[in-house]
Amino acid sequence: MSRRKRPGVLGVIVTIVVLAAVATGIFLIGSPAQERARRTDQRRVADLTGVAVAVDLYWSRKASLPQSLQDLAKEPGATVRINDPSTGESYEYRSLDGAGYEVCARFENDSGETAGPMGANSWSHGSGRHCFRREAQKIPGLSAQ
């Protein structure tokens, strides 16, 4: 009889260890919903980075800013994503003065202080709607038409 009880005790111990490992994993990396939100925010930053690159190209070719993201997306060779991956709505864009413009998106999480590969704080954002002010840069070797 004692042999039959040992596998039961071992099973309980294994179950406790597995549950503890799962709980620790969720605590360390977050829930699947949190991870999905983090990745969606990363995609938004990547999309806005692509918009910034496309604006620089537009500025270099035409010496003006596009009137809208739709105009930017219509440019030959443009592969810019202008719609939010979660809602499908267009990101916000508006030209300001001179070479200045602004792009906005709604984020699910705060990025902290080190978001984006273009330097510290380049695309840092809080949760909710956030706008980034940028200046169009001329790409060397391209001239306005």
Q: Which structure tokens are listed for 18?
A: 């597995």
User: Contact, 54 vs 72, CB < 8 A?
Assistant: yes
Q: What is the mean pLDDT of residues 18-42?
A: 80
What are the tokens at 103?
Answer: 């792009």
Quote the pLDDT of residue 111: 85
45-78 confidence digits (pLDDT tens): 999 999 999 999 999 999 999 999 999 999 887 7
User: Which residues sit opposite 131 in a β-bridge?
Assistant: 104
Determine the 3-state secondary structure of 82 from DSSP.
coil
Give which of 65, 87, 67, 79 is closest to 144, Cα–Cα. Answer: 65
**Residue range 125-133: average pLDDT?**
94
| pLDDT at residue 116 in the model | 45
pLDDT score for 18: 81
Model pTM above 0.85: no
User: Residue 31 in 3-state DSSP?
Assistant: coil
For residue range 94-126, list pLDDT tens digits in order. 999 999 999 999 999 998 754 445 454 589 999
Q: Is the pLDDT of residue 82 over 90?
A: yes
Percentage of the chain with pLDDT > 70? 84
Q: What's residue 113's pLDDT?
A: 57
Residue 103: burial class (beta carbons within 10 Å; 0-12, 13-18, 19+)? buried
